[in-house]
Amino acid sequence: MNLIEDLRWRGLLAQSTDEAALAESLKKPLTLYVGFDPTAPSLHVGNLVVLLVLRRFQLAGHIPLALVGGATGLVGDPSGKNEERTLNSSDTVSEWVGRIKEQVSVFLDFNTSKNPAKVVNNLDWTAPLSAIEFLRDIGKHFSVNQMLARDSVASRLEAGGISYTEFSYQVLQSYDYLELFRRYNCTLQLGGSDQWGNIVAGLDLIRRVEQGSGHALTVPLLTKADGTKFGKTAGGSVWLDPEMTSPYAFFQYWLNTDDKDVINFLKVFSFKSHAEITELEKSHIENPGLREAHRELARELTTLVHSKEVAERVEAAAKALFGQGDLSQLDLLTLKSALSELPQTKVSSLEEIPTWVDLIAATGVVDSKSAARRIVKEGGAYLNNEKISGEEFRPSKNDFLCGKYAVLRKGKRDLAAIELV
């Protein structure tokens, strides 16, 4: 099975220019790129879809370029947005560029001699360009009529308007493709399906300026069975940065995937073979309660994004802490490593121990003390897996397992740790 067929099987093809020609080009190593704009200090699981497709291309022998949008991030992509976004300062953007470069690098191989990956920043070729050069050398090739017709622009015009800044975004992205075509003979740009317009605009530019040709390939927007947005939880996006989404929470996010989505997610995110996925699908249908497919998904993604050690640690932590397990059976070392994955707070052994409400508020698991009180009132408050009641409830020194740790739980699965120091 070739790469294109594999992508189709995984449901990863949305649109492409001449597919037969692309399949032909893919018989030899080809250089391709995907752009990521720094709109936050970290990528999130939504970005993972296309990033992993880039990885699939490298595994298939092609040369991947990961573009981090130091320039485009300063301007703002109107695609998929119904209102103008506020500009971030250039200091902020350049800091985010640095972080995202590192994150992207985890998924690509830079050391192979055959088809090493490269990370590029479009600020490198955009910053030196003068406004006049930009208008004469690039702008001249764009028809405003066509630019206005682009979906991202048209919908914004309808929704109330667009600034000249964001209107120009497609020109910048097109120029990126042209520049990568020139520098690296890059002839394929991948992106989310919302990027189609920007990508073909780049192809047009390459054709006009260099009389060259290239390909465009987009990946469908990932949808969930219940219609909610992929990659979001109550706390916001699921980030790749362990400081922003703990590996424990990351693992749990995948583990809690809706049954209806889990096989689809395995196809999209996992590098397992078709046979392995089909096998998991079978076991999932036969015994969904076992959640073998969920577990494999969570393990593989946590391993890929964090590491094998981390994945094993967070899974062990979940096992030790979850449900009705008797926490007092755990030894100090197991307890300590399991709890290290959770939100924590410390209390002094010299002072009176604060109430459950104050403690859980201190860990950040609830937004406010009022919220914490509500949880207690509603019967969702636990200490060491034992339900507690009364807003004034205070743990005693004896509640600290091994004399050192206590486990707070809110609802069924929100855990936090307290350390006695």
CB 395 within 8 A of CB 356: yes
336: tokens are: 């300590």
289 binds RNA (CB under 7 A): yes
354 binds RNA (CB under 7 A): no
Rounded Cα distance between 287 and 420, Å, is 42
28 binds RNA (CB under 7 A): no
Rounded Cα distance between 34 and 65, Å, is 7
> Which one of residues 161, 325, 364, 403 is an interface residue with RNA (CB under 7 A)?
161
**Nearer to RNA among residue 112 and residue 370 (C-beta):** 370
166 binds RNA (CB under 7 A): no
- Half-sphere CA count of 200, side-chain side, radius 13 A: 14
Rounded Cα distance between 126 and 37, Å, is 14
306 binds RNA (CB under 7 A): no
Q: Hey, what's the torsion of the CAs at 120, 124, 127, 132, to 10 degrees?
A: -100
Rounded Cα distance between 97 and 74, Å, is 11
Stretches 37-45, 188-196, 214-222, 410-418: which one binds RNA (CB under 7 A)? Answer: 410-418
412 binds RNA (CB under 7 A): yes
Least separation in angstroms between residue 289's CB and RNA is 4
Contacts of 205 (CB under 8 A, 6+ apart): 138, 141, 142, 174, 175, 177, 178
**Nearer to RNA among residue 128 and residue 227 (C-beta):** 227
322 binds RNA (CB under 7 A): yes
Least separation in angstroms between residue 145's CB and RNA is 20
**Nearer to RNA among residue 94 and residue 385 (C-beta):** 385
Rounded Cα distance between 278 and 290, Å, is 16
CB 171 within 8 A of CB 145: no
150 binds RNA (CB under 7 A): no
**Nearer to RNA among residue 44 and residue 291 (C-beta):** 291
> Which one of residues 286, 309, 326, 378 is an interface residue with RNA (CB under 7 A)?
378
> Which one of residues 108, 375, 383, 406 is an interface residue with RNA (CB under 7 A)?
375
Stretches 105-113, 275-283, 344-352, 365-373: which one binds RNA (CB under 7 A)? Answer: 365-373
Stretches 7-15, 136-144, 253-261, 340-348: which one binds RNA (CB under 7 A)? Answer: 253-261
Residue 236: count other Cβ atoms within 10 Å of its Cβ: 11
> Which one of residues 101, 183, 369, 404 is an interface residue with RNA (CB under 7 A)?
369
Angle at 312 between CA 311 and CA 313, to 5 degrees: 90
Kindly state the number of chain residues that form the binding site for RNA, as judged by CB under 7 A.
Answer: 38
Q: Where does residue 374 rank: exposed (0-12), middle (13-18), buried (19+ CB within 10 A)? A: middle
116 binds RNA (CB under 7 A): no
Contacts of 139 (CB under 8 A, 6+ apart): 171
234 binds RNA (CB under 7 A): yes
CB 35 within 8 A of CB 72: yes
26 binds RNA (CB under 7 A): no
> Which one of residues 370, 386, 389, 403 is an interface residue with RNA (CB under 7 A)?
370
**Nearer to RNA among residue 226 and residue 309 (C-beta):** 226
Select from 172, 134, 206, 222 the least CA-distant residue to 35: 172
CB 93 within 8 A of CB 73: yes
Least separation in angstroms between residue 46's CB and RNA is 16
**Nearer to RNA among residue 144 and residue 285 (C-beta):** 285
Pairing of strands 63-68, 118-121: parallel
398: tokens are: 């004896």
Least separation in angstroms between residue 258's CB and RNA is 4
**Nearer to RNA among residue 11 and residue 379 (C-beta):** 379
55 binds RNA (CB under 7 A): no
Alpha helices in 340-416 (DSSP H): 356-363, 369-377
Least separation in angstroms between residue 372's CB and RNA is 8
Residues in contact with RNA by CB under 7 A are 160-161, 226, 228, 233-234, 252, 255-260, 288-289, 291, 294, 318-319, 322-323, 361, 367-371, 373-375, 378-380, 410-414
